[in-house]
Amino acid sequence: MSAAFTLYDYVLSGNCYKIRLFASLLAMPYQSVAIDFYPGYEHRSERMLSLNPAGTLPVMVTSAGGQVLTETNAMLAWMALHDGGAQTPWFPAVDPALGPQVQQGLAFGAGLTDSIGLARLHAMLDWPVDGEAAKRAGLKHLRALELHLTDRQIDGGLWWAGAHPTIADLACFPYVALSPDAGLEHDGFPAIRRWLYAVRSLPGFATMPGIHPLHELR
């Protein structure tokens, strides 16, 4: 099977991992190009800036149609539709109830990148940002997620929305799973722990550094 897309990728990036994870869950082959985000700051090189002026990672270039996507939510949507078409349970975009809920989750995921993601970069790589402010914002996000997942639990649901995992879950998973990298532990968040375990138990789940495999399932 040929590669569905090329991914300009960094192994430690939670955002890049969203794509790697989804590709693994879908068994979707892709071509990976490692970009030396740190310590080389290669995402700011001329070559990468001409591909993506925003200078962010990941960047996806689709094989069919050669689309260049620079937003992970767009990449997740592309992958879901490429895999299963409009009926894909991963992205029920036009379902009147689930569609908007998934959009909520995708937006929430972006907020996690900007809070926990930043706090993590600061804690691990001494990124020049206000790590304490990012961590405080991250805690607010974790609490909001705990509330949402508790609501869902009351309704008998396991995922962000509906009865099947969606790209909303994938948009939120990496930085929540990695929040201990920034000193934000999961103690006191039982609904989040339950949900993290559910994602990690999915067939085809792939890890990244900081997220261990479930050895009990081996």
Partner 1 sequence: MTWRPVGLTRDVPAGRVMRAWVDGQDAVVWRSTRGVLSAWDNRCPHRGMALSHGFVRGEDLACLYHGWHYGAEGGVCSLIPSHPDLTPPDTIKTRAFQSAESDGVIWVRLEGSPDLAPIDLAPPAIAPGLDPLRSFEIRASEGDIAHGAAAKPFEPAILSLLFNPIAHDRTLVTVLIDAQATSDQRKLASRWCEDVRREVEA
Partner 2 sequence: MSLAYARNDWYVIADRNSLEQGPRRTRLLGDEIHVSGSYAHPVIKDASGRMLPTQIKFDHVWTTVGDRPRPLFDIPEGNEPGRRLVPCGMVRVKCSPLRAVENFLDIAHFPFVHTDVLGAEPYTEVEPYKVEIREQNDEVWATKVKFFQPLAAKSAAGGITTDYEYRVPAPTTAVLYKTCPPKPEAQDVITIFVQPRSETECDVWPWMALYDDDTPYADLVQFQQMIFLQDRSILENQRPIKLPLDPRMEIPTRSDLTSVAYRRWLKKRGAFYGALAETL
Sign for the pseudo-dihedral over CA of 48, 64, 5, 17:
positive
Residue of 165, 118, 166 whose CA lies nearest to 141: 118
Residue 151's binding partner, choosing from partner 2, partner 1, none, with beta-carbon cut-off 5 to 8 A by kind? partner 1
Calpha distance 178→196 (Å, rounded): 11
In the chain, which ranges are E strands? Answer: 5-9, 31-34, 59-62, 68-69
Instruction: Choose from partner 1, partner 2, none: what does 35 bind? Cβ within 5-8 Å by kind.
Output: partner 2
Could you say which of partner 2, partner 1, none residue 155 binds, taking C-beta under 5 to 8 angstroms by partner kind?
A: partner 1
Binding residues for partner 1, how many (CB under 8 A)?
20
What string marks each residue from 169 to 208 as x (binds partner 1 by CB under 8 A) or -?
----------------x-xxxxx-xx--x-----------
Question: Going by C-beta distance under 8 Å and a sequence separation of 6 or more, which residues neighbour residue 120?
Answer: 14, 175, 178, 179, 181, 182
Among residues 77 and 184, whose Cβ is nearest to partner 2?
A: 184
132 binds partner 1 (CB under 8 A): no
Look up residue 165 and give its DSSP letter: -
Residues near partner 1 (CB under 8 A): 143, 146-147, 150-151, 154-155, 185, 187-191, 193-194, 197, 212, 214-216
